[in-house]
Structure formats: C-alpha cells, structure tokens
C-alpha cells in the first residue's frame, strides 16, 4: 500500500508544480508585455522581474522535467519590437 501512497504523492506534487509553473508562465508573459510596451514608448526597461520569474520557472522545470525558459535580454526585446512593426 505504501507504494501506492508514494505514487499518489508524486502525482500530487507533479500536478502542483505544473500549476505553479503555468501560473508563473502567465506572470512572466505579462511582465514581458509590460517591458515591450515600455520599450516601445522609449522608456528605460528593466528585465529583472522577467528574469527572476524565469529563474523560478527553470528551477521547477529542472525538478520536474518541464521545458526550461530562456532568460530575456534587451536584444530579444528590440528584435521582437522590430519584427512586430
């Protein structure tokens, strides 16, 4: 019976991590949108929030074998803005 409990616990932990990962992904996308909007307005941009979320996501990804996310750079933001014109 303990094997079944261990498996159930692993599944529960995986589902919890998946929900947390997806919530962080939404939060990261919103932060990226804010950075892009600031960049379009010519304001100074900071990627600290985006990359802090990315780091948290990648820790979960490493622990649960989810796909990792790349850290966002200012060059990536500029490239995205140029492509969207």
For the chain, 85 residues long, give each residue's pLDDT as a single digit of tens: 688 889 899 999 999 999 999 999 999 999 999 999 999 999 999 999 999 999 999 999 999 999 999 999 999 999 999 998 7
Write down the pLDDT at residue 56: 98
Distance from C-alpha of 51 to C-alpha of 56, rounded to nearest angstrom: 8
Q: How far apart are CA 47 and CA 15, in angstroms?
A: 29
Residue 24: the pLDDT is 98
Contact 78, 46 (CB under 8 A): no
Structural domain including 19 reads: 2-83
- pLDDT the model gives residue 1: 63
Q: Quick check: pTM over 0.75?
A: yes
The number of folded domains in the chain is: 1
């Amino acid at each position: 019976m303990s094997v079944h409990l261990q498996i159930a616990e692993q599944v529960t932990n995986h589902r919890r991590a998946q929900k947390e990962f997806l919530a962080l992904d939404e939060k990261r996308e919103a932060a990226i949108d804010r950075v892009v909007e600031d960049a379009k307005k010519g304001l100074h941009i900071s990627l600290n929030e985006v990359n802090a979320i990315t780091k948290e996501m990648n820790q979960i990804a490493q622990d649960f074998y989810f796909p990792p996310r790349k850290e966002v750079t200012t060059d990536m933001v500029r490239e995205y803005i140029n492509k969207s014109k």
